[in-house]
Every structure is written in structure tokens, then in C-alpha cells.
Chain A
């Protein structure tokens, strides 16, 4: 483990948060999508984060420290929400359209926590760099 490995850990956090932001962006963009390739309305996506050891064959410290890895994008199987809109081309026989069950408010809150997590990871990188620079100043 050296200073440069810390960058890898924080970098994996930044990548994971970026993927999380992409899923939120997809959820927001498709909040009113009634058609998908699989049929039915769009389903909400959430990323699955997994802790991954830095080096499973390394020493004890390297086995204990973990990066974060996005293993999968989970597609929730929600029922959707029915809106009465008889003129819509996707309306059923009773005049109801099945819209995705996406709560804009909860997506916005998710986006805020993503933004804060990204900032926290970026801050960890900055602190690592500051510590390295400080160490280089010893004895100067």
C-alpha cells in the first residue's frame, strides 16, 4: 500500500457514484416512458454496489481494504401507476395508461446524496494528495 493505491480506492468510489448518477438520470428521463423494448412501462433502475478487496492475494492490509464495484444495475419490478388518459395510444380498454412508478422527489434526493458522495470521494483524493505533498516537504 502506498499513496497511489489510495487514489484507486477513491477513484472506484467516484466511478460508482457516476454510474449511480447515470441510473438516476435514466430514471428521470424515462419518468413518463410508457413503452420499452421488453413491453410495458419503463422500470426504475438502481445500481448494486459491492465491496471488492484491493488485492485478495496481498497481505492482510490489502485483503482488508476494499474498493467499490458496481456489479449490476437492478431493474425494479414495480406495478406502475395507472392514469386515466383515454386519448393516449397506450391506453387500455378502460382508458387507463400505465406510467412508470417513478417518484421525482425521491430521485432528486438520491441525486443530492450522489452529489455529496462524489464530493466526499473527491475530497479524500485531495487530502491524500495534500498528505503526499506535505510528506515531500519534510526536511526541505
Chain B
């Protein structure tokens, strides 16, 4: 026991336990994508995410060209499609930044 009145080992045990103060922690095996499915690799998840971003970009493209050529007069629908594509792209870029950051940190490890 230290001055905090908490034994370090029990503290580590608490940190490893699935719940801390009622908040469920996500462990790697509990990821909704894995489910023991061999197809749910990192690459396939990334592929799906990029595909979703690409899909939203294409929807925005179709809405924009429809508006420009006078087929689609739904002005707000076009703006919403553009905004959705923008948010999806920014999310993808944020995730990419995090990956690159982690990669660089690992590459800087002294061997």
C-alpha cells in the first residue's frame, strides 16, 4: 500500500477490468467489425470507409451536375449532399492524419 491507499496491482487490475466506474471499455476483440470474421481485416475496414467517402463524393457530384444542368432544382438537397461529402472527407483525412502520426512515432523508435 502506498500513501494513496491503493495497491498498484489492484489499480492495474481495475484498469484491465472491462468496466471502470460503469463505463464499458472497448477491447480489440469486442470491435463490432471483427466478430471472429476473417474478412474484417484492417485493410477491408479501411477499404469500406474509403468506399463510403467516395460514394458520398459521387452523390454530391451527381447532385451538383443535376443542379447545373437544370434537372435537379432541389437547391438545399444539393447543398446537403456537398456538406455530407465534405464532412465524410474531413473525417477520412483526420483518421489518415492519426495513422501517419502513429506510423511516424513508431518509425522514430530507437532500435
Contacts and interface: CB of A to CB of B under 8 A. Distances in A.
Contacts, number: 31
B77 A129 contact: no
B14 interface: no
Interface string B83-111: 11001101100100010000000000000
Interface stretch (A7-15, A75-83, A84-92): A7-15
Contact of A129 (B56, B83, B91, B94): B83
Interface string A110-139: 000000000000100100010011001001
Contacts of A14: 76
A11 B77 contact: yes
Contacts of A10: 80
A69 B83 CA distance: 22
> SS class of chain B's interface: helix, strand, loop or mixed?
helix
A133 B83 contact: no
A7 B83 CA distance: 9
A135 to B, nearest CB: 9
Contacts of A26: none
Interface string B41-60: 00000000000000010000
Contact of A125 (B80, B88, B90, B94): B80
6 contacts: A3-B87, A4-B56, A4-B87, A7-B83, A15-B77, A133-B90
Interface of A: 3-4, 7, 10-11, 14-15, 18, 122, 125, 129, 132-133, 136, 139-140
